[in-house]
Structure 1
Amino acid sequence: MRGGKTGEIIGGPRDALLIALAAGAVAGGIVLWLIGSIVVAGTFLAAAVVVAGVAVALRVAVTKPPVSQQTADWSLAAALAGANADAVAVTGRTGHLVCANEAYETMCGGFPTPPALALSDPDLARLTATGRDAWRDGHAAAARIEIAGQPVSVEVTRSGHAADHLVWRFTGQRTIDMLGGIADELDGVMGDRMGEAGLMAALLDADGKVVAGNRALRARAFGRANAPIEGQDLANLLVGDAQRGIRFAREDEDAGAVRLLQVALGSGDHSPTLVALIEDAGSAAAVGDPHDVETLLSVIPFGLALVDREGRFLAMNAAFARMAGAEPAAPPLYPGDLVVREDKAAVADAVRRFTTGGAQSADLAIRLKDHPDETVALSIAATRGFGGASVLLSFKDNGEENRLKREVAQATKMQAVGQLAGGVAHDFNNILTAIIGHCDLMLMRHSPGDSDYDDIQQIRANSNRAASLTRQLLAFSRQQTLRPQVLQLPDVVSEVSTLLRRLLGETVVLEVKHGRDLGAVRADPGQLEQVVVNLAVNARDAMLAKGAGGRVTIQTRAATIAELRQRGTDIMPIGDYTALEIADTGTGIPPEVLPKIFEPFFTTKEVGKGTGLGLSTVYGIVKQSGGYIFADSRPGQGATFTIYFPVHAAGDEAAVPRTPARTKTTDTWGSGTILLVEDEDMVRAIAERALTRQGYTVLSADHGEAALELLETAERPSLIVSDVMMPVMDGPTLARAVRERYPDIPILFMSGYAEEQLRRSIDLDHVAFLPKPFSVQQLAEAARDALANG
């Protein structure tokens, strides 16, 4: 047992030996007293010694030294965290705070655990999610989380001997803090160097108040180098007149005048200003000393350059040279030397216009020679007070802005094309309904073997083929009817792999790979099979166009957080996704074609060998299923299509109405009165004839108001068959008006749009849907079922 001191340890080998000897001595004494034999008593004593020795030996052999439990020495971790300028904290598996440095205490106002920081709800949710991602992936990060009014970035890393701790590191947002950064420079060594060069500098906010000033300015303005200047109005520290110029207010009239130089640190009205004051020696040369100008530019942390009246560079700082791709040792002579040939004239004309005083400031979109594929903004401003300099140039990196504009334009175009495709499909479905219906009526009067029977069948077959094209258009516009189920992507791929091997042919090898621990997704299995088939067939055609076979690889796997961030969180939110990847070894997709591949009717195949609806159908199915699809390709190296489906969580079942199962029967005859409402004359005529042939009495109207007027004089109908989209009064409005009079009347809607979309927009119970185009048989069955269910 372990106590407080060494002398208090009981039960060691020495104590056991002493106890055994004492027991042997007592036993020997008793024997000697009883029988009086010294030999026998000695024998007892010797036996006791032997037994004690054996016992001690066994105890030493079997007793293990106590194992000291190792405990973590967090003092070392705290010392390391304290040496870091960033805010660092360590939390355990239960979320408790193990240690943190002083920077963390200063930032958070104490030592709360990171998930318990006083943040806004969105920032707290992002911070909590970052911690969960770090437990799962080992590392996670988030940007622009506002703590105590300051944006910071956080990096979380799982660490520890058993990987049971999280290390949280908070760093300042890696953007230019214009006021804070320059203020620190003016208060520090750089400000002192400017003072040694004869420059008095101050940083002013938008109201003209001093944010910071160097020691030289404080000494001239107040007489003390450490005098407080923050919050002062610089205009109140200066006086001036036309004869003596500008001087400090605290100095007498004989003091030397100063010249004021101003640089606006932005293009807006609320941007800060950097002001430099130098001794006015009475000559333009003293005012425009290149050394003073270069010193002033060097303290500004973003790219600036000065151009003289001849259009030549006068000075530029290191940030401007780095952004422009210029060599500091051999700077360019003219601004036009930095841009591509097509932009040289525009830059030269803009600089010339500003040197003559014709403009104040403007932005010009240019392309640099080092990055000809990216557009950057060149800000040009007329300036005065820098001696021979007349134009100020600065760069604005708008690459991210241009990328977002392209993505928004592409998304807007796809949405507009989708709406157009859906409208075309809807109108085309009305035409196909009439064609198919008339074919069905004609087939009732002709039997196989008649001279017209085969022609009618051919017309009907071509109409059904056209109907399949409209379904593809509806798929692209995300308006088709889906029957989603919770399923595993490997099961879908396995179902269609046998068909794919026949479609791909003998020269194309199909390779299927499945990852482990894949999350279930919710989608229509039939539509997913169409997605896989379309992409695989496209891959086969690309490889056959190469003149030989190749390999098509279909892979299912779990998407990583790093992969999602690479895709762009503004496009696809961070979450759990299961990825389906289809890659080929074909010719690849040219860069100029890649942005257009999902547009309907766009195809690179020869005329007559493709409708251009394959990939657009894939795009619509994936989007309607809540997924995301990306195409990556390099010419000559094949293409890869990656589809991400959100992992389905238990309890997220959407309330999608199911059509009740019915017993198949060929008996479609019925009786009763049906009110038919359809604005398309050809569809109304075919539907009226079809229902009349089945035994119904049909009352027809061309819009909702005409139907209500008809109901005023007619008896209660047995069924309302109505189109959804109609002029004057649409189908749902008509149905609500009829239900007020006949609450239990069954309603059958006809539409060329998706059933799911219509159910979300129609707040009526016990209604049935019949998609267009439909045949006479399908209309009769739908009417029979609606009456039976009603």
Structure 2
Amino acid sequence: MGAVGPLSVPPRLSRVDVGLLGGLALLSTALLFWATRDTVLAAGFVAGLAVAVGGVVLARRLFPAVVAGDTAPPDWTMLRQAVNHEDVAIAVTDRAGRMVCANDLFGTWMGGFVTPPGLPLEGRGADVLKNAGRMAWRDGEGRADDLAIGPLQLRAQVTRTGQAEDYLVWRFSALERLDLASEITRHLDGPAGRTLSHAGVMAALVNAEGRLRVANQAFLLRALGEDDAGHYAGRDVAPMLRIDDGGALYFAREGDCATPVRMLQIPLAPADSNTPVLLALLDEEMGPADRGTAQTYVETLLSLLPFGLAMVDRDGRFLYMNRAFVRAANLGEGKMPRYPGDIVVSEDKGPLADMIRRHSSGQQVGGDLSIRLAGQSGDPVSIRIVGVRGLGEAAVLLSLKDSSEESRLKRQVAQASKMQAVGQLAGGVAHDFNNILTAVLGACDLMLMRHTPGDSDYDDIQQIRSNANRAASLTRQLLAFSRQQTLRPQILQLPDVISEVSHLLKRLIGETVQLAVHHGRGLGAVRADPGQLEQVIINLAVNARDAMPGGGTLTIETYPVSAADVRQMGHEFMPPADYCALKVSDTGTGIAADVLPKIFEPFFTTKDVGKGTGLGLSTVYGIIKQSAGYIFADSAPGQGTSFSIYLPVHRVGTDTPVVAPPPVKPKKSQWGTGTILLVEDEDMVRAVAERALTRAGYSVVTASQGEEGLERFAQMAQVDLIISDVVMPTMDGPAMVRALRAKRPDLPVLFMSGYAEEQLRHSINIDDVAFLPKPFSVAQLTEATSAALDDAAHRVNNG
């Protein structure tokens, strides 16, 4: 015999071998009889052989040979893959308290593969879970409810298992808390309750103690009468009903002439929890056997409730579903599924059918199951299954929450929060970057004063200055995205803006792309910054050109949109009003559906490396939003892309002055005299500004922050101008200026900042101050200083 493992298994005997052994046994018996001539001895020999063979066969049947590999240790890697579940976190521990295996969801929820019961639970959760584990070792199963890890609410089930029952399986499922009681209260106390009363349905919501929370008029009149119907909250329901000897249910106050009723109980949560129960009572005038009218009444009740409900018979077939259930299950009109399994993905059909079968016995208990709908590819949803009785064919009630709107709002809030966080980051980066660029540009200007165009270093300095200006335009894009740039709004017409920029567009898009411009009639005026609108059109045109590498048509349209048109469009965040629309369309490659929601995010680009910054569309988005407008993108792969911009029509009243473009001020001198107090916390910016002002003829005293500026001011005999940064540590510029203006109200002030003036208006709430945005050149600084001194002198002369 050959060995096949740790234990050897004898091979089976063939028919030839059995025949040979039988022949040898007969030959042996014949020889024994020939030698002894004793019949009894020969028969005893044959009987002994039969007993020996039977014993061997019986031993082989009772104690089969162990096949190699039966004692091999289990493959925990395979087990871990088998317990992977999208909705239940599972872990297995041995009797020594060591982790054997766990699925991926357990590691995600618990912040790592932590051995139960030592999980990072809040409050007394760890002690509750430990007691559940002890109960499982003792009784075979333990449960723990109301466990929390941050916002995640969990329920745990612990089961003892294994061949020697030396393992524990820990299952954790998430709890979904639905406040159905408040919704039912609102509807029963309103038109829905009156509609049920007219249909003969008596409905009431009862708390866990059996006391009334709310009831419709039909229930109150039958149970309490007209005199007590207005004072019912908190009253016990049990005395209002009675049961006769035959098991029929009646209202107690109606006495012997009462009409029997049938009561349907709909628990809003598991039966052992402290939650209310919805009662629906129906007259049984036709006798308990007639269930058709009762089911009709219940269907009327279900159709009015705001959450999805459906009835299923004992064979697992749908009997009825209300409109809310159809919406929640994402079913089309007229597409009534036959079985509940038809509305879920194939993987969830089996668990759903098993749970419905368990609850179809008629016991009024319920359970929750996490499923994935076949019509939706998103997150799992929770379906509640409750066993019911007294409704004829109906055996199970399904409750499904329509979470599509909630999921959409969650995604929108997350997107808005992300955009806001990135916008704040962009504004902070732009501020710090502007300080650096101010120092670089100032140093370049000071060096150029010592070099002429013929010097060897002149071209290098100019190159540095040109690159710094390019970097400054990048910071302006960051401020535009974060909606923190300074706008100069004017009353204008969109066709005029497009006319101004159309010549530049033809050069930008090239000869292979054709430009088509169409203007609608009846366009109103809008209030916006014309320069920023031109930037919007240019950015959209450049993107359209890149989307049409083989050529195409770029179309720019303007047309009016009325409030009625806005309502038909159905944009939820766009209030109904009159708008001027600007639409930029191309015939290019289009945008994929999974990419379209991300196009306005900063630094997101589908272009090759080095061919795009990812700030073009985010800048457009910031400019439009800061101008109180709305922008939407529509695209499909291979069908082009269109961007629709809606700017509100500006209404000019009789008392509303028309804002004219600001007059062009004459260029100020870069030389002057006077004493200046310069307050700046950035050392490099302060050094460059001090050198530039001193070179222009001013006497400059410096301070590094607001409190030091107050000390310097107190020590100076004369101060003609304060130049201060806005955001500084300890004491900012506006706080310092308010303290100085309290001593000298006519003190001239020039603020400078890397943040935009629009963002700082709430903190610079001071009259008669000038503002200089960073980065600035030496010439811009000296011109702004001269202008601030001239404006102060003008106010003094006219005051």
Pick from 273, 277, 281 the counterpart of residue 275 of structure 1: 281
Equivalent residue runs for 1:454-473 within 5 Å:
454-473=459-478
1:368 Cα offset (Å): 3.1
Is residue 2:665 matched to residue 1:662? Answer: yes
404-413 or 739-748, which deviates more:
404-413
Where do 5+ consecutive residues of structure 1 fail to align?
A: 1-174, 192-200
Equivalent residue runs for 1:148-187 within 5 Å:
180-181=191-192, 183-184=194-195, 187=198
1:316 — aligned with what? Answer: 320
Cα 1:739–1:178, aligned 2, differ >3 Å: closer, same or farther?
Answer: closer
3-state SS of paired residue (2:517): strand
1:508 Cα offset (Å): 1.1
Cα 1:298–1:256, aligned 2, differ >3 Å: closer, same or farther?
Answer: closer
Equivalent pairs, count? 587
Deviations 1:463-520 (A, max 9, x none): 1111100011111111112211111111111111122122222211111111111111
236-245 or 445-454, which deviates more:
236-245
Is residue 2:301 matched to residue 1:300? Answer: yes
3-state SS of paired residue (1:773): coil
Tell me, in whole angstroms, the C-alpha distance in 1 between the residues paired with 2:269 and 2:193.
14
Tell me, in whole angstroms, the C-alpha distance in 2 between the residues paired with 1:669 and 1:391.
90
Equivalent residue runs for 1:513-528 within 5 Å:
513-528=518-533
Is residue 2:252 matched to residue 1:249? Answer: yes
Tell me, in whole angstroms, the C-alpha distance in 2 between the residues paired with 1:589 and 1:737.
56
Q: Is the 8 A contact 2:678 2:690 kept in 1?
A: yes
Tell me, in whole angstroms, the C-alpha distance in 2 between the residues paired with 1:740 and 1:366.
68
3-state SS of paired residue (1:764): coil
1:644 Cα offset (Å): 0.9
1:366 Cα offset (Å): 5.2
1:447 — aligned with what? Answer: 452
1:619 Cα offset (Å): 1.1
3-state SS of paired residue (2:419): helix
Q: Is the 8 A contact 2:362 2:389 kept in 1?
A: no
Equivalent residue runs for 1:67-106 within 5 Å:
none
Pick from 774, 777, 788 the counterpart of residue 786 of structure 1: 788
1:766 Cα offset (Å): 1.5
Cα 1:256–1:539, aligned 2, differ >3 Å: closer, same or farther?
Answer: closer
3-state SS of paired residue (2:466): helix
3-state SS of paired residue (1:635): coil
Cα 1:731–1:241, aligned 2, differ >3 Å: closer, same or farther?
Answer: farther
Q: Is the 8 A contact 2:751 2:771 kept in 1?
A: yes
Tell me, in whole angstroms, the C-alpha distance in 2 between the residues paired with 1:242 and 1:376.
48
Tell me, in whole angstroms, the C-alpha distance in 2 between the residues paired with 1:775 and 1:553.
40
1:646 Cα offset (Å): 1.1
Equivalent residue runs for 1:485-500 within 5 Å:
485-500=490-505
Tell me, in whole angstroms, the C-alpha distance in 1 between the residues paired with 2:622 and 2:336.
54
Name the aligned partner's letter for residue 637 of structure 1: Q
Tell me, in whole angstroms, the C-alpha distance in 1 between the residues paired with 2:216 and 2:711.
77
1:693 — aligned with what? Answer: 695
3-state SS of paired residue (2:421): helix
Tell me, in whole angstroms, the C-alpha distance in 2 between the residues paired with 1:254 and 1:181.
29
Equivalent residue runs for 1:295-444 within 5 Å:
295-302=296-303, 303-306=308-311, 312-313=316-317, 315-317=319-321, 319=323, 322-323=326-327, 324=329, 325=331, 331-333=337-339, 335-341=340-346, 344=349, 367-369=372-374, 371-373=375-377, 378-386=382-390, 391-444=396-449
Name the aligned partner's letter for residue 662 of structure 1: K
1:764 — aligned with what? Answer: 766
1:429 Cα offset (Å): 0.5
1:203 — aligned with what? Answer: 203
Q: Is the 8 A contact 2:362 2:387 kept in 1?
A: no
Deviations 1:375-433 (A, max 9, x none): 79554153454589775312333433333333333233222221211111011101111
3-state SS of paired residue (1:727): coil
1:543 — aligned with what? Answer: 548
Tell me, in whole angstroms, the C-alpha distance in 2 between the residues paired with 1:329 and 1:671.
85
2:748 — aligned with what? Answer: 746
Pick from 703, 711, 714 the counterpart of residue 713 of structure 2: 711
Where do 5+ consecutive residues of structure 2 fail to align?
A: 1-185, 207-211, 793-799
Tell me, in whole angstroms, the C-alpha distance in 1 between the residues paired with 2:564 and 2:463.
54
3-state SS of paired residue (1:300): helix
1:154 — aligned with what? Answer: none
1:530 Cα offset (Å): 1.2
1:51 — aligned with what? Answer: none
Name the aligned partner's letter for residue 571 of structure 1: F
Name the aligned partner's letter for residue 605 of structure 1: K
Pick from 775, 778, 793 the counterpart of residue 776 of structure 1: 778
TM-score normalised per structure 1: 0.65
3-state SS of paired residue (2:516): strand
Overall identity of the aligned pairs, in %: 57
Pick from 747, 755, 776 the counterpart of residue 757 of structure 2: 755
Name the aligned partner's letter for residue 620 of structure 2: V
Cα 1:422–1:252, aligned 2, differ >3 Å: closer, same or farther?
Answer: closer
1:562 Cα offset (Å): 3.7
1:629 — aligned with what? Answer: 631
Cα 1:184–1:766, aligned 2, differ >3 Å: closer, same or farther?
Answer: closer
Name the aligned partner's letter for residue 529 of structure 2: D
TM-score normalised per structure 2: 0.65
1:538 Cα offset (Å): 0.9
Tell me, in whole angstroms, the C-alpha distance in 1 between the residues paired with 2:784 and 2:745.
20
3-state SS of paired residue (1:750): strand
1:708 Cα offset (Å): 0.7
Tell me, in whole angstroms, the C-alpha distance in 2 between the residues paired with 1:255 and 1:760.
73
3-state SS of paired residue (2:436): helix
Q: Is the 8 A contact 2:363 2:387 kept in 1?
A: no
Cα 1:662–1:466, aligned 2, differ >3 Å: closer, same or farther?
Answer: same
